[in-house]
Amino acid sequence: MVETRHLQVDYRGKRALHDVSMQFGSGFTAVIGPSGAGKSTLMRALNGLIPATLGQVLLDGQPLGRPGTTLLRMQQRQLGMVFQHFNLVRRLSALENVLLGCLGSSGALQGALGLSRRAEREWAMHLLNRVGLADHAWQRADQLSGGQQQRVGIARALAQRPRVILADEPISALDPRSSAEVMDILRDIQERDGLMVIANLHSLETVRACAGRVIALKGGRLVFDGHPAELGSELTRELYAQETAGVHVAGPAEVDPLVYT
């Protein structure tokens, strides 16, 4: 359903992704790799927030539209985005933030689906309840904890009724308990609602607990695509070699988990 074909992304001459081709059909996919590997660039390119320099991103076989086009906006409705730093409007309530997600799917669709403002509100409240925040609906976003803000971010992404959730480092800014809550919600969305989830994650422990597929990038290139169980310690060591060399030399027992959170 989502595919990259020979995707290359350059930032002012600096290549961030080289010739990346892959397909995503369903399930929970984790994207891993050391700092600067191109993980965020991939997530943003999948959503059309960054255009391909060469190659293509396709949704249901159709290339993503260029920035600013109606085609891209229609496609982006199917691709809900969750951000590392939540990207909420701080002075608005949790409910108002979720309603902003509904705006992405109203407009043209509002008439077609017959969605009234009231129906949108009910939908937004339902989603806040889903992420365990019904009691915080009227609280300002900047008065919520990081974990709560990220849960509002997920509810906002769900508000547009996407088929895919692209989560760009959804738990990097959170403590372990909030991280677990957020991952439980993402996993539940995937398992119960059948949404495809693609999440860029740093903790291999989390990857093993949540993902059915893992994609590893290094230096902007695809270096692994398979089941998390196939991700051996040799490959993991290689993947993070540069990073651990300067920062922390892992002992044999340390290689596997959280080298990198």
Ligand X SMILES: Nc1ncnc2c1ncn2[C@@H]1O[C@H](COP(=O)(O)OP(=O)(O)OP(=O)(O)O)[C@@H](O)[C@H]1O
Which stretches of the chain bind ligand X, using CB under 6 A?
Answer: 11, 14, 16, 33, 35-41
For residues 8 and 125, what is the distance between their CA atoms, to the nearest angstrom?
40
Q: Checking DSSP bridges between strand 2-11 and strand 54-59, what pairing results, if any? A: antiparallel
C-beta of 200: minimal distance to ligand X in Å?
7
CB atoms within 10 A of CB 247: 12
Residue 198 identity: I
Shortest distance, position 92 Cβ to ligand X, whole Å: 27
Least Å distance, CB 260 to ligand X, is 9
* Residue with Cβ nearer ligand X (84 or 139): 84
Residue type, 173: A
**CB nearer ligand X, residue 3 or residue 169:** 169
Indicate the residue among 17 and 128 with the shorter CB distance to ligand X.
17
> Hey, how many other C-beta atoms are within 10 angstroms of the C-beta on 58?
15
In the bound state with ligand X, the residue whose beta carbon lies nearer, of 78 and 261, is: 261
Q: Which two tokens stand for residue 205?
A: 């422990």
Task: Answer whether 145's CB lies under 8 Å from 178's CB.
Answer: yes
Q: Nearest distance from residue 21's CB to ligand X, in Å? A: 17
Record the tokens describing residue 72, joined without a space: 């891209």
